[in-house]
Structure 1
Amino acid sequence: MIDEILLKQLSAALSEQLKVKIHINDAKSVHGGDINESFRIATNEGYFFVKMNDAKRFPEMFAQEYAGLLELRSAGALQAPKPLAYGSVGGRAYLVQEFLTKGQAVTDFWDDFAVSLARQHRVTKPHFGNPGTNYLGTLKQYNTPYSNWAVFYAFNRLLPLIRMAYDQQIVDKQMVQQVESLCRQLPQLFPAEAPALLHGDLWSGNFMVGANGKACVFDPAVYYGHREMDLAMTRLFGGFDTRFYYAYQAAYPLLPDWQQRIGICQLYPLLVHLILFGGNYYNSIREVLQSY
Protein backbone atom coordinates (compact mmCIF):
# COMPACT_ATOMS: atom_id res chain seq x y z
CA MET A 1 0.00 0.00 0.00
CA ILE A 2 0.94 3.69 -0.21
CA ASP A 3 1.74 5.22 3.17
CA GLU A 4 0.69 8.71 4.28
CA ILE A 5 4.10 10.28 3.69
CA LEU A 6 4.17 9.08 0.10
CA LEU A 7 0.56 10.13 -0.48
CA LYS A 8 1.48 13.66 0.62
CA GLN A 9 4.45 13.66 -1.75
CA LEU A 10 2.28 12.47 -4.65
CA SER A 11 -0.31 15.11 -3.86
CA ALA A 12 2.34 17.84 -3.80
CA ALA A 13 3.95 16.64 -7.03
CA LEU A 14 0.64 16.52 -8.87
CA SER A 15 -0.42 19.90 -7.47
CA GLU A 16 2.79 21.47 -8.77
CA GLN A 17 2.47 19.84 -12.19
CA LEU A 18 -1.23 20.57 -12.70
CA LYS A 19 -1.22 24.01 -11.04
CA VAL A 20 -4.22 23.10 -8.90
CA LYS A 21 -4.47 21.72 -5.36
CA ILE A 22 -4.75 17.93 -5.56
CA HIS A 23 -6.42 15.91 -2.82
CA ILE A 24 -5.94 12.13 -2.99
CA ASN A 25 -9.09 10.35 -1.88
CA ASP A 26 -8.15 6.73 -2.50
CA ALA A 27 -5.32 4.51 -3.76
CA LYS A 28 -6.23 1.14 -5.23
CA SER A 29 -3.72 -1.55 -6.23
CA VAL A 30 -4.06 -2.56 -9.89
CA HIS A 31 -2.28 -5.00 -12.18
CA GLY A 32 0.67 -3.32 -13.83
CA GLY A 33 3.07 -6.11 -14.81
CA ASP A 34 5.64 -8.13 -12.89
CA ILE A 35 8.23 -5.43 -12.30
CA ASN A 36 6.53 -2.63 -10.36
CA GLU A 37 3.78 -2.08 -7.83
CA SER A 38 0.96 -0.22 -9.54
CA PHE A 39 -1.90 1.88 -8.21
CA ARG A 40 -4.83 3.89 -9.42
CA ILE A 41 -5.21 6.98 -7.29
CA ALA A 42 -8.51 8.83 -7.14
CA THR A 43 -8.29 12.60 -6.69
CA ASN A 44 -10.46 15.68 -6.92
CA GLU A 45 -9.16 16.01 -10.49
CA GLY A 46 -9.83 12.42 -11.56
CA TYR A 47 -7.75 9.26 -11.69
CA PHE A 48 -3.99 8.93 -12.09
CA PHE A 49 -1.69 5.91 -12.45
CA VAL A 50 1.26 5.41 -10.11
CA LYS A 51 4.15 2.95 -10.48
CA MET A 52 6.46 2.24 -7.55
CA ASN A 53 9.70 0.36 -6.98
CA ASP A 54 12.85 0.22 -4.87
CA ALA A 55 14.80 3.46 -5.35
CA LYS A 56 18.10 1.93 -4.24
CA ARG A 57 17.93 -1.15 -6.47
CA PHE A 58 16.76 0.72 -9.56
CA PRO A 59 18.14 4.28 -9.51
CA GLU A 60 16.94 6.49 -12.34
CA MET A 61 14.45 3.86 -13.56
CA PHE A 62 11.48 6.20 -13.44
CA ALA A 63 13.44 9.31 -14.42
CA GLN A 64 14.41 7.48 -17.60
CA GLU A 65 10.90 6.15 -18.21
CA TYR A 66 9.52 9.67 -17.73
CA ALA A 67 11.95 10.97 -20.35
CA GLY A 68 11.13 8.07 -22.66
CA LEU A 69 7.41 8.75 -22.53
CA LEU A 70 8.03 12.41 -23.34
CA GLU A 71 10.21 11.34 -26.29
CA LEU A 72 7.48 9.07 -27.66
CA ARG A 73 4.80 11.72 -27.23
CA SER A 74 6.96 14.37 -28.91
CA ALA A 75 7.11 12.20 -32.04
CA GLY A 76 3.39 12.80 -32.59
CA ALA A 77 2.91 9.26 -33.85
CA LEU A 78 1.79 6.60 -31.37
CA GLN A 79 -0.25 7.55 -28.34
CA ALA A 80 1.47 7.17 -24.96
CA PRO A 81 0.36 8.23 -21.47
CA LYS A 82 1.44 11.68 -20.33
CA PRO A 83 4.03 11.42 -17.55
CA LEU A 84 3.35 13.86 -14.73
CA ALA A 85 5.92 13.40 -11.96
CA TYR A 86 8.63 11.14 -10.62
CA GLY A 87 10.70 11.05 -7.44
CA SER A 88 11.38 9.01 -4.33
CA VAL A 89 10.39 9.02 -0.66
CA GLY A 90 11.77 6.74 2.03
CA GLY A 91 13.58 4.51 -0.46
CA ARG A 92 10.52 4.06 -2.69
CA ALA A 93 10.66 5.51 -6.18
CA TYR A 94 7.49 6.53 -7.98
CA LEU A 95 6.25 7.61 -11.40
CA VAL A 96 2.89 9.31 -11.80
CA GLN A 97 1.25 9.37 -15.20
CA GLU A 98 -2.04 9.84 -16.94
CA PHE A 99 -4.57 7.09 -16.23
CA LEU A 100 -5.54 5.37 -19.48
CA THR A 101 -9.15 4.55 -20.24
CA LYS A 102 -9.87 1.55 -22.43
CA GLY A 103 -12.01 1.86 -25.54
CA GLN A 104 -13.32 -0.22 -28.43
CA ALA A 105 -10.93 -0.78 -31.32
CA VAL A 106 -11.66 1.12 -34.52
CA THR A 107 -12.19 -0.95 -37.66
CA ASP A 108 -8.70 -0.27 -39.03
CA PHE A 109 -6.99 -0.58 -35.62
CA TRP A 110 -4.03 -2.71 -36.76
CA ASP A 111 -3.43 -0.69 -39.92
CA ASP A 112 -3.47 2.57 -37.96
CA PHE A 113 -1.17 1.07 -35.29
CA ALA A 114 1.35 0.01 -37.94
CA VAL A 115 1.30 3.31 -39.82
CA SER A 116 1.73 5.22 -36.55
CA LEU A 117 4.70 3.03 -35.57
CA ALA A 118 6.24 3.55 -39.02
CA ARG A 119 5.87 7.32 -38.55
CA GLN A 120 7.56 7.06 -35.15
CA HIS A 121 10.41 5.04 -36.66
CA ARG A 122 11.13 7.86 -39.10
CA VAL A 123 12.11 10.08 -36.17
CA THR A 124 15.90 9.90 -36.06
CA LYS A 125 19.08 11.20 -34.44
CA PRO A 126 22.73 11.14 -35.53
CA HIS A 127 23.70 8.21 -33.27
CA PHE A 128 22.23 4.97 -31.98
CA GLY A 129 21.60 5.15 -28.24
CA ASN A 130 19.92 7.34 -25.67
CA PRO A 131 20.98 9.83 -22.98
CA GLY A 132 21.61 7.74 -19.88
CA THR A 133 21.13 4.12 -18.91
CA ASN A 134 17.53 2.93 -18.70
CA TYR A 135 16.01 -0.49 -18.05
CA LEU A 136 14.42 -3.42 -19.83
CA GLY A 137 12.57 -5.19 -17.06
CA THR A 138 14.89 -4.89 -14.07
CA LEU A 139 18.09 -5.14 -16.11
CA LYS A 140 20.07 -2.06 -17.01
CA GLN A 141 19.92 -1.15 -20.69
CA TYR A 142 23.16 0.52 -21.75
CA ASN A 143 22.92 3.26 -24.36
CA THR A 144 26.47 4.39 -25.10
CA PRO A 145 26.15 6.16 -28.47
CA TYR A 146 27.62 4.63 -31.60
CA SER A 147 27.24 5.62 -35.24
CA ASN A 148 27.16 1.97 -36.31
CA TRP A 149 24.22 -0.28 -35.38
CA ALA A 150 26.23 -3.52 -35.39
CA VAL A 151 28.72 -2.08 -32.90
CA PHE A 152 25.93 -0.65 -30.73
CA TYR A 153 24.01 -3.93 -30.68
CA ALA A 154 27.10 -5.97 -29.85
CA PHE A 155 28.58 -3.78 -27.11
CA ASN A 156 25.40 -2.37 -25.51
CA ARG A 157 23.08 -5.32 -25.82
CA LEU A 158 24.31 -8.84 -26.62
CA LEU A 159 27.78 -8.99 -25.07
CA PRO A 160 26.89 -7.49 -21.65
CA LEU A 161 23.96 -9.89 -21.26
CA ILE A 162 25.66 -13.10 -22.40
CA ARG A 163 28.53 -12.35 -20.02
CA MET A 164 26.08 -11.69 -17.20
CA ALA A 165 24.34 -14.98 -17.96
CA TYR A 166 27.69 -16.79 -17.96
CA ASP A 167 28.73 -15.20 -14.65
CA GLN A 168 25.44 -16.38 -13.15
CA GLN A 169 26.08 -19.90 -14.55
CA ILE A 170 22.95 -19.75 -16.70
CA VAL A 171 24.79 -20.45 -19.96
CA ASP A 172 28.00 -22.33 -20.81
CA LYS A 173 31.17 -21.12 -22.49
CA GLN A 174 30.07 -22.51 -25.86
CA MET A 175 27.01 -20.23 -25.94
CA VAL A 176 29.18 -17.25 -25.02
CA GLN A 177 31.46 -18.07 -27.95
CA GLN A 178 28.47 -18.42 -30.28
CA VAL A 179 27.22 -14.95 -29.32
CA GLU A 180 30.70 -13.51 -29.77
CA SER A 181 30.90 -15.14 -33.20
CA LEU A 182 27.51 -13.67 -34.15
CA CYS A 183 28.62 -10.21 -33.01
CA ARG A 184 31.57 -10.37 -35.41
CA GLN A 185 29.13 -11.11 -38.24
CA LEU A 186 26.64 -8.33 -37.44
CA PRO A 187 28.21 -5.73 -39.79
CA GLN A 188 27.56 -8.04 -42.75
CA LEU A 189 24.06 -9.02 -41.58
CA PHE A 190 22.53 -5.56 -41.01
CA PRO A 191 22.36 -3.10 -43.91
CA ALA A 192 22.99 0.53 -42.99
CA GLU A 193 19.92 2.39 -41.80
CA ALA A 194 19.35 5.58 -39.83
CA PRO A 195 18.68 5.31 -36.07
CA ALA A 196 14.94 5.06 -35.37
CA LEU A 197 13.00 6.12 -32.30
CA LEU A 198 12.07 2.81 -30.67
CA HIS A 199 9.56 1.93 -27.99
CA GLY A 200 12.07 -0.70 -26.95
CA ASP A 201 9.71 -3.19 -25.31
CA LEU A 202 6.88 -3.44 -27.82
CA TRP A 203 5.16 -6.71 -27.00
CA SER A 204 1.42 -7.39 -26.77
CA GLY A 205 1.31 -6.61 -23.04
CA ASN A 206 2.56 -3.06 -23.54
CA PHE A 207 -0.23 -1.58 -25.58
CA MET A 208 -3.98 -1.20 -25.18
CA VAL A 209 -6.93 0.13 -27.10
CA GLY A 210 -7.25 3.74 -26.00
CA ALA A 211 -10.43 5.73 -25.44
CA ASN A 212 -10.41 6.83 -29.09
CA GLY A 213 -10.19 3.23 -30.33
CA LYS A 214 -6.54 3.49 -31.40
CA ALA A 215 -3.39 1.89 -29.97
CA CYS A 216 -1.80 3.43 -26.92
CA VAL A 217 1.64 2.17 -25.84
CA PHE A 218 3.19 2.26 -22.39
CA ASP A 219 6.07 0.83 -20.28
CA PRO A 220 8.71 1.81 -22.85
CA ALA A 221 12.47 1.23 -22.83
CA VAL A 222 13.17 4.02 -25.30
CA TYR A 223 16.33 4.42 -27.35
CA TYR A 224 17.33 5.14 -30.93
CA GLY A 225 18.06 1.82 -32.59
CA HIS A 226 17.39 -0.35 -35.61
CA ARG A 227 13.63 -0.37 -36.26
CA GLU A 228 13.66 -4.13 -36.84
CA MET A 229 14.17 -4.46 -33.06
CA ASP A 230 10.66 -3.15 -32.35
CA LEU A 231 9.14 -5.32 -35.06
CA ALA A 232 10.96 -8.46 -33.87
CA MET A 233 9.71 -7.78 -30.34
CA THR A 234 6.11 -7.65 -31.57
CA ARG A 235 6.49 -11.26 -32.74
CA LEU A 236 7.42 -12.56 -29.28
CA PHE A 237 5.04 -13.52 -26.47
CA GLY A 238 1.86 -13.75 -28.52
CA GLY A 239 2.58 -11.55 -31.51
CA PHE A 240 0.45 -8.97 -33.29
CA ASP A 241 -2.27 -9.42 -35.88
CA THR A 242 -1.01 -10.24 -39.39
CA ARG A 243 -2.63 -7.06 -40.73
CA PHE A 244 -0.16 -5.03 -38.66
CA TYR A 245 2.86 -6.40 -40.54
CA TYR A 246 1.38 -5.92 -43.99
CA ALA A 247 0.41 -2.34 -43.16
CA TYR A 248 3.85 -1.53 -41.75
CA GLN A 249 5.59 -2.94 -44.82
CA ALA A 250 3.37 -0.84 -47.06
CA ALA A 251 4.02 2.32 -45.03
CA TYR A 252 7.78 1.91 -44.49
CA PRO A 253 9.24 -1.08 -46.38
CA LEU A 254 11.94 -3.05 -44.58
CA LEU A 255 15.32 -3.62 -46.18
CA PRO A 256 16.08 -6.95 -47.94
CA ASP A 257 16.51 -10.12 -45.87
CA TRP A 258 14.72 -8.67 -42.83
CA GLN A 259 13.09 -12.08 -42.25
CA GLN A 260 16.53 -13.62 -41.63
CA ARG A 261 17.27 -10.97 -38.98
CA ILE A 262 14.17 -11.50 -36.84
CA GLY A 263 15.85 -14.10 -34.63
CA ILE A 264 18.97 -11.97 -34.24
CA CYS A 265 16.86 -9.02 -33.08
CA GLN A 266 14.95 -11.26 -30.69
CA LEU A 267 18.15 -12.44 -29.02
CA TYR A 268 18.28 -9.36 -26.82
CA PRO A 269 14.83 -9.70 -25.20
CA LEU A 270 15.30 -13.47 -25.03
CA LEU A 271 18.55 -13.02 -23.08
CA VAL A 272 16.80 -10.58 -20.74
CA HIS A 273 14.05 -13.11 -20.09
CA LEU A 274 16.53 -15.94 -19.66
CA ILE A 275 18.38 -14.01 -16.94
CA LEU A 276 15.20 -12.87 -15.20
CA PHE A 277 13.00 -15.94 -15.55
CA GLY A 278 15.05 -18.91 -16.85
CA GLY A 279 12.85 -21.61 -18.34
CA ASN A 280 12.65 -22.40 -22.05
CA TYR A 281 14.30 -19.17 -23.17
CA TYR A 282 17.62 -21.05 -23.24
CA ASN A 283 16.36 -23.32 -26.01
CA SER A 284 15.00 -20.38 -27.99
CA ILE A 285 18.38 -18.66 -27.80
CA ARG A 286 20.20 -21.81 -28.81
CA GLU A 287 17.96 -22.21 -31.87
CA VAL A 288 18.80 -18.69 -33.05
CA LEU A 289 22.53 -19.19 -32.53
CA GLN A 290 22.73 -22.54 -34.33
CA SER A 291 23.01 -20.78 -37.69
CA TYR A 292 25.99 -18.67 -36.61
Structure 2
Amino acid sequence: MNILMSGGTGFIGRALVDHFEKQGHTLYILTRGQSRVEGLREYIHWLSEDGDEIDYLSHRKIDVVINLAGEPIGRGRWTPEKKERILHSRIESTKRIIEIVKHLKEKPVVFIQGSAIGYYGYSENDRFTDRSLSLLNSFPSEVCDIWENTLHYLNHPDIRKVIARIGTVLHSKEGFLAKALLPYRFWAGGKIATGNQFVSWIHLEDVVRIIDYLIYEKSMHGPVNLTAPHPVTMDELGHTLASIMRRPYWFPFSEWMIRRTFGEKSVLVTKGSCVLPSKLLHSSFSFQYPTIRKALSNLMQ
Protein backbone atom coordinates (compact mmCIF):
# COMPACT_ATOMS: atom_id res chain seq x y z
CA MET A 1 0.00 0.00 0.00
CA ASN A 2 1.20 3.54 -0.77
CA ILE A 3 0.57 6.12 1.95
CA LEU A 4 0.92 9.88 1.55
CA MET A 5 1.35 11.64 4.88
CA SER A 6 1.89 15.14 6.17
CA GLY A 7 3.05 15.70 9.74
CA GLY A 8 5.08 12.49 9.51
CA THR A 9 7.96 13.98 11.50
CA GLY A 10 5.77 14.98 14.47
CA PHE A 11 5.03 13.15 17.73
CA ILE A 12 2.17 11.01 16.38
CA GLY A 13 3.44 11.02 12.80
CA ARG A 14 6.76 9.34 13.68
CA ALA A 15 4.95 6.53 15.50
CA LEU A 16 2.69 6.00 12.48
CA VAL A 17 5.61 6.02 10.04
CA ASP A 18 7.44 3.38 12.08
CA HIS A 19 4.27 1.27 12.26
CA PHE A 20 3.54 1.44 8.53
CA GLU A 21 7.17 0.82 7.58
CA LYS A 22 7.20 -2.37 9.67
CA GLN A 23 4.13 -3.49 7.74
CA GLY A 24 6.00 -3.01 4.46
CA HIS A 25 4.02 -0.04 3.14
CA THR A 26 5.60 2.62 0.93
CA LEU A 27 5.49 6.07 2.53
CA TYR A 28 5.53 9.46 0.86
CA ILE A 29 6.16 11.94 3.68
CA LEU A 30 5.61 15.63 3.01
CA THR A 31 8.21 17.71 4.83
CA ARG A 32 9.51 21.26 5.11
CA GLY A 33 13.00 19.72 5.05
CA GLN A 34 15.00 18.43 2.10
CA SER A 35 13.70 15.72 -0.20
CA ARG A 36 15.39 12.37 0.40
CA VAL A 37 14.80 8.60 0.37
CA GLU A 38 15.30 6.38 3.42
CA GLY A 39 14.29 2.77 2.79
CA LEU A 40 10.53 2.63 2.26
CA ARG A 41 10.21 6.31 3.17
CA GLU A 42 10.43 9.06 0.59
CA TYR A 43 10.51 12.54 2.12
CA ILE A 44 9.19 15.17 -0.29
CA HIS A 45 9.76 18.89 0.23
CA TRP A 46 6.47 20.79 0.07
CA LEU A 47 4.62 24.07 0.66
CA SER A 48 7.02 26.07 -1.47
CA GLU A 49 5.52 28.70 -3.75
CA ASP A 50 6.19 26.74 -6.94
CA GLY A 51 4.24 23.69 -5.68
CA ASP A 52 6.64 21.21 -7.30
CA GLU A 53 5.34 18.40 -5.10
CA ILE A 54 1.93 18.57 -6.84
CA ASP A 55 3.39 17.69 -10.24
CA TYR A 56 5.85 15.22 -8.75
CA LEU A 57 3.14 13.19 -7.02
CA SER A 58 0.49 13.45 -9.76
CA HIS A 59 1.67 10.23 -11.45
CA ARG A 60 2.17 8.26 -8.23
CA LYS A 61 -0.36 5.71 -7.04
CA ILE A 62 -1.58 6.78 -3.59
CA ASP A 63 -3.96 4.53 -1.67
CA VAL A 64 -4.23 6.46 1.61
CA VAL A 65 -3.75 10.10 2.62
CA ILE A 66 -3.16 11.11 6.24
CA ASN A 67 -2.98 14.83 7.00
CA LEU A 68 -1.51 15.71 10.42
CA ALA A 69 0.46 18.84 9.57
CA GLY A 70 0.26 21.99 11.68
CA GLU A 71 2.17 24.25 14.07
CA PRO A 72 2.33 22.52 17.51
CA ILE A 73 -0.36 24.07 19.71
CA GLY A 74 1.35 23.22 23.00
CA ARG A 75 4.75 24.72 22.24
CA GLY A 76 5.38 28.32 23.30
CA ARG A 77 3.05 31.05 24.57
CA TRP A 78 -0.04 31.94 22.56
CA THR A 79 1.03 35.33 21.34
CA PRO A 80 -1.08 36.82 18.51
CA GLU A 81 1.67 35.77 16.09
CA LYS A 82 1.78 32.21 17.44
CA LYS A 83 -2.02 31.87 17.24
CA GLU A 84 -1.93 33.05 13.64
CA ARG A 85 0.74 30.44 12.81
CA ILE A 86 -1.28 27.69 14.52
CA LEU A 87 -4.35 28.46 12.42
CA HIS A 88 -2.66 29.40 9.15
CA SER A 89 -0.37 26.33 9.12
CA ARG A 90 -3.35 23.99 9.38
CA ILE A 91 -5.37 25.71 6.68
CA GLU A 92 -2.40 26.08 4.33
CA SER A 93 -1.27 22.46 4.65
CA THR A 94 -4.79 21.03 4.32
CA LYS A 95 -5.55 23.07 1.20
CA ARG A 96 -2.22 22.05 -0.34
CA ILE A 97 -2.64 18.33 0.33
CA ILE A 98 -6.16 18.51 -1.10
CA GLU A 99 -4.67 20.16 -4.18
CA ILE A 100 -2.21 17.27 -4.44
CA VAL A 101 -5.09 14.77 -4.25
CA LYS A 102 -7.05 16.62 -6.93
CA HIS A 103 -4.11 16.23 -9.33
CA LEU A 104 -3.60 12.51 -8.67
CA LYS A 105 -4.56 10.51 -11.74
CA GLU A 106 -5.75 7.66 -9.49
CA LYS A 107 -7.59 8.84 -6.36
CA PRO A 108 -6.91 7.42 -2.88
CA VAL A 109 -9.48 5.21 -1.20
CA VAL A 110 -9.47 7.14 2.08
CA PHE A 111 -8.42 10.58 3.31
CA ILE A 112 -7.81 10.80 7.08
CA GLN A 113 -7.86 14.39 8.30
CA GLY A 114 -6.22 15.07 11.65
CA SER A 115 -8.02 17.18 14.23
CA ALA A 116 -8.34 17.24 18.02
CA ILE A 117 -10.98 16.90 20.71
CA GLY A 118 -10.32 20.58 21.35
CA TYR A 119 -13.01 20.93 18.65
CA TYR A 120 -15.75 20.45 21.27
CA GLY A 121 -14.65 23.25 23.59
CA TYR A 122 -14.46 23.11 27.38
CA SER A 123 -17.13 21.93 29.81
CA GLU A 124 -17.23 20.17 33.19
CA ASN A 125 -20.81 18.97 32.69
CA ASP A 126 -21.30 18.01 29.04
CA ARG A 127 -20.43 14.63 27.54
CA PHE A 128 -19.31 14.77 23.91
CA THR A 129 -19.60 12.01 21.31
CA ASP A 130 -18.44 11.95 17.70
CA ARG A 131 -21.78 13.53 16.71
CA SER A 132 -21.69 16.43 19.21
CA LEU A 133 -21.42 20.01 18.00
CA SER A 134 -18.69 22.40 19.08
CA LEU A 135 -19.31 24.88 21.89
CA LEU A 136 -16.83 27.22 20.17
CA ASN A 137 -15.83 28.61 23.56
CA SER A 138 -12.03 28.52 23.24
CA PHE A 139 -9.19 29.18 20.84
CA PRO A 140 -8.57 25.43 20.21
CA SER A 141 -12.25 24.86 19.41
CA GLU A 142 -12.25 27.72 16.91
CA VAL A 143 -9.07 26.44 15.27
CA CYS A 144 -10.36 22.86 14.97
CA ASP A 145 -13.70 24.05 13.57
CA ILE A 146 -12.02 26.06 10.80
CA TRP A 147 -9.46 23.29 10.20
CA GLU A 148 -12.11 20.61 9.76
CA ASN A 149 -14.24 22.80 7.51
CA THR A 150 -11.27 23.17 5.17
CA LEU A 151 -11.85 19.50 4.26
CA HIS A 152 -14.96 20.62 2.34
CA TYR A 153 -12.60 21.58 -0.50
CA LEU A 154 -12.19 17.83 -1.05
CA ASN A 155 -15.50 16.93 -2.66
CA HIS A 156 -14.60 13.81 -4.64
CA PRO A 157 -17.44 11.30 -4.05
CA ASP A 158 -15.25 8.18 -4.24
CA ILE A 159 -12.87 9.19 -1.45
CA ARG A 160 -13.94 8.13 2.04
CA LYS A 161 -13.22 11.02 4.40
CA VAL A 162 -12.48 10.54 8.12
CA ILE A 163 -11.82 13.30 10.66
CA ALA A 164 -9.64 11.90 13.46
CA ARG A 165 -10.36 13.98 16.57
CA ILE A 166 -7.40 13.00 18.72
CA GLY A 167 -7.47 13.25 22.50
CA THR A 168 -4.63 13.93 24.96
CA VAL A 169 -2.00 11.45 23.76
CA LEU A 170 -0.01 9.77 26.52
CA HIS A 171 3.65 8.86 26.12
CA SER A 172 6.34 8.93 28.80
CA LYS A 173 8.90 10.84 26.72
CA GLU A 174 6.79 13.38 24.79
CA GLY A 175 3.63 15.44 25.05
CA PHE A 176 1.37 16.09 28.03
CA LEU A 177 2.47 13.17 30.23
CA ALA A 178 6.18 13.87 29.87
CA LYS A 179 5.59 17.37 31.25
CA ALA A 180 3.17 16.17 33.94
CA LEU A 181 5.76 13.69 35.27
CA LEU A 182 8.31 16.37 36.11
CA PRO A 183 6.87 17.58 39.46
CA TYR A 184 6.30 13.98 40.60
CA ARG A 185 9.96 13.18 39.98
CA PHE A 186 10.77 15.96 42.48
CA TRP A 187 8.11 14.77 44.98
CA ALA A 188 5.97 17.85 44.22
CA GLY A 189 2.98 16.45 42.36
CA GLY A 190 -0.51 17.61 43.23
CA LYS A 191 -3.84 19.03 42.19
CA ILE A 192 -3.91 21.21 39.08
CA ALA A 193 -6.49 24.01 39.29
CA THR A 194 -9.78 22.53 40.60
CA GLY A 195 -8.84 19.00 39.58
CA ASN A 196 -12.39 18.55 38.27
CA GLN A 197 -11.48 19.25 34.65
CA PHE A 198 -11.67 16.17 32.43
CA VAL A 199 -8.71 14.66 30.61
CA SER A 200 -9.91 12.66 27.61
CA TRP A 201 -6.72 10.74 27.08
CA ILE A 202 -5.42 7.94 24.86
CA HIS A 203 -2.27 5.83 24.79
CA LEU A 204 -0.02 6.52 21.77
CA GLU A 205 -0.10 2.84 20.78
CA ASP A 206 -3.91 2.94 20.58
CA VAL A 207 -3.75 6.07 18.42
CA VAL A 208 -1.59 4.19 15.92
CA ARG A 209 -3.84 1.12 16.05
CA ILE A 210 -6.99 3.21 15.53
CA ILE A 211 -5.61 5.08 12.52
CA ASP A 212 -4.57 1.76 11.03
CA TYR A 213 -8.10 0.48 11.70
CA LEU A 214 -9.67 3.56 10.07
CA ILE A 215 -7.80 2.83 6.85
CA TYR A 216 -9.43 -0.56 6.39
CA GLU A 217 -12.83 -0.16 8.10
CA LYS A 218 -15.08 1.11 5.33
CA SER A 219 -17.96 1.89 7.70
CA MET A 220 -15.89 4.60 9.39
CA HIS A 221 -16.37 8.07 7.95
CA GLY A 222 -16.84 11.60 9.22
CA PRO A 223 -15.68 12.57 12.73
CA VAL A 224 -14.21 9.80 14.91
CA ASN A 225 -13.06 10.46 18.49
CA LEU A 226 -9.66 8.96 19.23
CA THR A 227 -9.97 8.78 23.02
CA ALA A 228 -9.94 5.94 25.53
CA PRO A 229 -13.37 4.71 26.71
CA HIS A 230 -12.82 5.98 30.26
CA PRO A 231 -11.95 9.69 30.53
CA VAL A 232 -10.75 10.82 33.97
CA THR A 233 -10.62 14.07 35.87
CA MET A 234 -7.25 15.72 36.33
CA ASP A 235 -7.52 14.75 40.02
CA GLU A 236 -7.99 11.06 39.15
CA LEU A 237 -5.08 11.21 36.73
CA GLY A 238 -2.81 12.79 39.35
CA HIS A 239 -3.75 10.32 42.08
CA THR A 240 -3.17 7.37 39.73
CA LEU A 241 0.18 8.74 38.62
CA ALA A 242 1.26 9.33 42.23
CA SER A 243 0.20 5.81 43.17
CA ILE A 244 2.15 4.15 40.34
CA MET A 245 5.26 6.28 40.97
CA ARG A 246 4.91 5.92 44.76
CA ARG A 247 5.04 9.65 45.21
CA PRO A 248 2.91 12.00 47.32
CA TYR A 249 0.02 13.94 45.84
CA TRP A 250 0.06 17.12 47.86
CA PHE A 251 1.38 20.25 46.15
CA PRO A 252 -1.49 22.31 44.65
CA PHE A 253 -1.03 24.31 41.45
CA SER A 254 -3.68 27.02 41.47
CA GLU A 255 -5.32 28.18 38.25
CA TRP A 256 -4.01 31.67 38.96
CA MET A 257 -0.45 30.35 39.22
CA ILE A 258 -0.71 28.38 36.00
CA ARG A 259 -2.30 31.25 34.09
CA ARG A 260 0.42 33.61 35.34
CA THR A 261 3.06 31.21 33.99
CA PHE A 262 1.52 30.10 30.68
CA GLY A 263 -0.98 32.81 29.81
CA GLU A 264 -3.98 31.85 27.67
CA LYS A 265 -2.38 28.48 26.87
CA SER A 266 -3.06 27.44 30.49
CA VAL A 267 -6.54 26.29 29.39
CA LEU A 268 -4.88 23.17 28.00
CA VAL A 269 -4.49 21.90 31.58
CA THR A 270 -6.93 23.99 33.65
CA LYS A 271 -9.94 23.25 31.42
CA GLY A 272 -11.15 20.03 29.88
CA SER A 273 -14.00 18.07 28.34
CA CYS A 274 -15.37 14.55 28.66
CA VAL A 275 -15.11 13.04 25.17
CA LEU A 276 -16.32 9.51 24.44
CA PRO A 277 -15.28 7.34 21.45
CA SER A 278 -18.82 6.21 20.63
CA LYS A 279 -18.16 5.14 17.04
CA LEU A 280 -15.18 3.01 18.03
CA LEU A 281 -17.06 1.47 20.96
CA HIS A 282 -19.81 0.39 18.56
CA SER A 283 -17.30 -1.07 16.11
CA SER A 284 -15.06 -4.13 16.13
CA PHE A 285 -12.07 -2.13 17.40
CA SER A 286 -10.63 -3.24 20.76
CA PHE A 287 -8.66 -0.83 22.94
CA GLN A 288 -5.37 -2.17 24.24
CA TYR A 289 -5.32 0.44 27.03
CA PRO A 290 -8.92 1.24 28.04
CA THR A 291 -8.18 2.49 31.58
CA ILE A 292 -5.81 5.14 32.86
CA ARG A 293 -4.14 2.76 35.32
CA LYS A 294 -3.38 0.22 32.62
CA ALA A 295 -2.02 2.92 30.29
CA LEU A 296 0.15 4.60 32.93
CA SER A 297 1.42 1.28 34.29
CA ASN A 298 2.61 0.41 30.79
CA LEU A 299 4.18 3.79 30.16
CA MET A 300 5.94 3.95 33.53
CA GLN A 301 7.63 0.56 33.22
**What is the TM-score of this pair, normalised by structure 1?**
0.27
**What is the TM-score of this pair, normalised by structure 2?**
0.27
